[in-house]
Amino acid sequence: MLTKHYCFPGTTPGTDAKDTRYTFIDIETTGLKRDTTILYLIGCGYYEKDSLCIVQWFNDDGVSEPAMLLALRDFLMKHPAPLFTFNGESFDIPYLNRHYELNHMDYRLDLTGSLDLYRMLRPFQTLFHLSHGKQKDWERFLGISREDLYNGGQLIGIYKKYLLKKDPELLHLLLLHNMEDIRGMEALLPLAAYESLLGGQFTVEGFTVSGDSSSANMTADRLCSGDFADQPTFPRLTADCRLRKPLPKPLHAAADFTEKGFSLSDILSPGTENSSIPPLSSVDIDGQKMQITIPVVQGTLKYFYPDYKNYFYLPEEDRAIHKSVGCYVDSQFREKAKPATCYIRKNGLFLPLFPQTKYKGIQTAQKSYADSLTLYKNDYKDTCSFVELQPLFHGNGDRAENTGNGRHTSLANAYLCDYMKDVFISEMKKAAT
């Protein structure tokens, strides 16, 4: 077994890598099948002060796999840091654990706190229009260049030639690829900010509601039908947020949610170019600044009581009342409520709340907070609900209430995180067509 050590200046100062002390790990094998191939190279990267150090164990004789596995075990026991990989949860870690088993070694790698950059970045591959999501693709995305020109499949043949010739040039190619994979992972670490974004790690700094609400009078049925022919404008909420980590690249996504019952039609005068019409919803991120734009429904919506059997419907008043009160109403003015007639009306400003959804690794989870909000609909059978703007963004003027872990701020964050994901999913579906 051949062992190599290197040290380089860290390329991502101030990132979580220095705080969390990740151990970067990458392996090279003679194939993908765990039971019929061998391990020929293991590389680990770790921090010492401000330097990224790399250690490599190389199977230079074709039979040193057990020694490599023992060296990795001893190293990880001395460096008990969370693992950082690229597709490691699907390949590297299961492969290593299987080979510990095949070599009758009582040791398994621990995935507690680990981060798989490939899995984390998968949703953003479509958003950034990357045809592939390989490590080198993301390195090019960030403008990172390499000396290494080979992929893992090509290096299998080079390794077999090395075993026959022991050519130092071939050894250099094998070690270089693995070393640059590890250095590349460290350079890609700022991309972990996208996972923080999906986790809702941002704060709402303020919001504005714009548009001539008196003349726009946007109602839920018009918004859902896309009937904007005579609408010069309509109200929108713009939330200004600050991310915990800056994104290494700006990100823009827009949606009209046609597939969810929302539609964007010509809202300006006939002949106006569609390109001049702003989208109903958008997410714009640059560095740590994020702005989310959401259409606001102004008008009257309905709250449907879930236990309709305990209510009467009053046709002349167009509302439902509980039987404990309705029993005093003359029977000719009341009827048994049905699911579609068991409601009361509410006038105000509302924001859309879409059904829970999942697409390519992005999943909304609004159920966790929607139970604390009153949900309104335009019609009983509508899949899209609405929530009042006030309980989400409480306060006077254009500033959101700063309550730390208080109810309003946490609700606003949860809602905006879900809405942002809905915009991303809509953009991804549009890009996939």
Mean pLDDT by 10 residues, the chain (433 residues): 91 50 93 94 92 96 96 94 93 96 94 89 87 91 90 94 95 96 93 87 86 44 42 72 91 81 40 46 94 87 95 96 94 95 92 88 80 88 86 52 44 90 90 77
Nearest 5°: the CA angle 54, 83, 13 is 60
> Would strands 2-9 and 51-58 be described as parallel, antiparallel, or unpaired?
antiparallel
pLDDT score of 259: 67
**Could you give the CA distance from residue 228 to residue 268 in angstroms, rounded to a whole number?**
8
CATH value of 2-194 in 3.40.50.11820, 3.30.420.10, 3.40.50.720, 3.30.200.20: 3.30.420.10
Tell me how far CA of residue 35 lies from CA of 96, 265, 322, 408, 422, in angstroms.
11, 58, 68, 54, 42
**Could you give the CA distance from residue 85 to residue 79 in angstroms, rounded to a whole number?**
16
Residues 6+ apart with CB under 8 A from 274: 266
First to last CA, the chain: 50
pLDDT score of 368: 72
**Which residue in 218, 239, 232, 231 sits closest to 301, CA to CA?**
218
**Which residue in 39, 32, 74, 31 sits closest to 55, CA to CA?**
74
pLDDT score of 291: 96
Tokens at residue 375, please?
């949900």
Q: Sort 77 into a burial class: Cβ within 10 Å, 0-12 / 13-18 / 19+.
A: exposed
Each domain of the chain, given as residue ranges in start order, spans 2-194, 201-305+342-432
**Could you give the CA distance from residue 153 to residue 432 in angstroms, rounded to a whole number?**
28
Identify the sign of the CA torsion 84, 85, 86, 88.
negative
For helices 93-102 and 65-78, angle between their N-to-C axes, nearest 10 degrees: 120
Contact 34, 95 (CB under 8 A): yes
Tell me how far CA of residue 64 lies from CA of 41, 60, 235, in angstroms.
10, 7, 68
What does DSSP assign to residue 298? E
CA count, 13 A, side-chain hemisphere, 294: 31
Cβ neighbours of 287 (radius 10 Å): 14
Rg (Cα) of the chain, in Å, rounded?
Answer: 29
Tokens at residue 313, please?
């419907």
Residue type at 333 in one-letter notation: F
pLDDT score of 111: 85
Three-state DSSP at 113 gives: coil
Tell me how far CA of residue 396 lies from CA of 207, 208, 299, 358, in angstroms.
10, 11, 20, 35
Tokens at residue 395, please?
């306060």
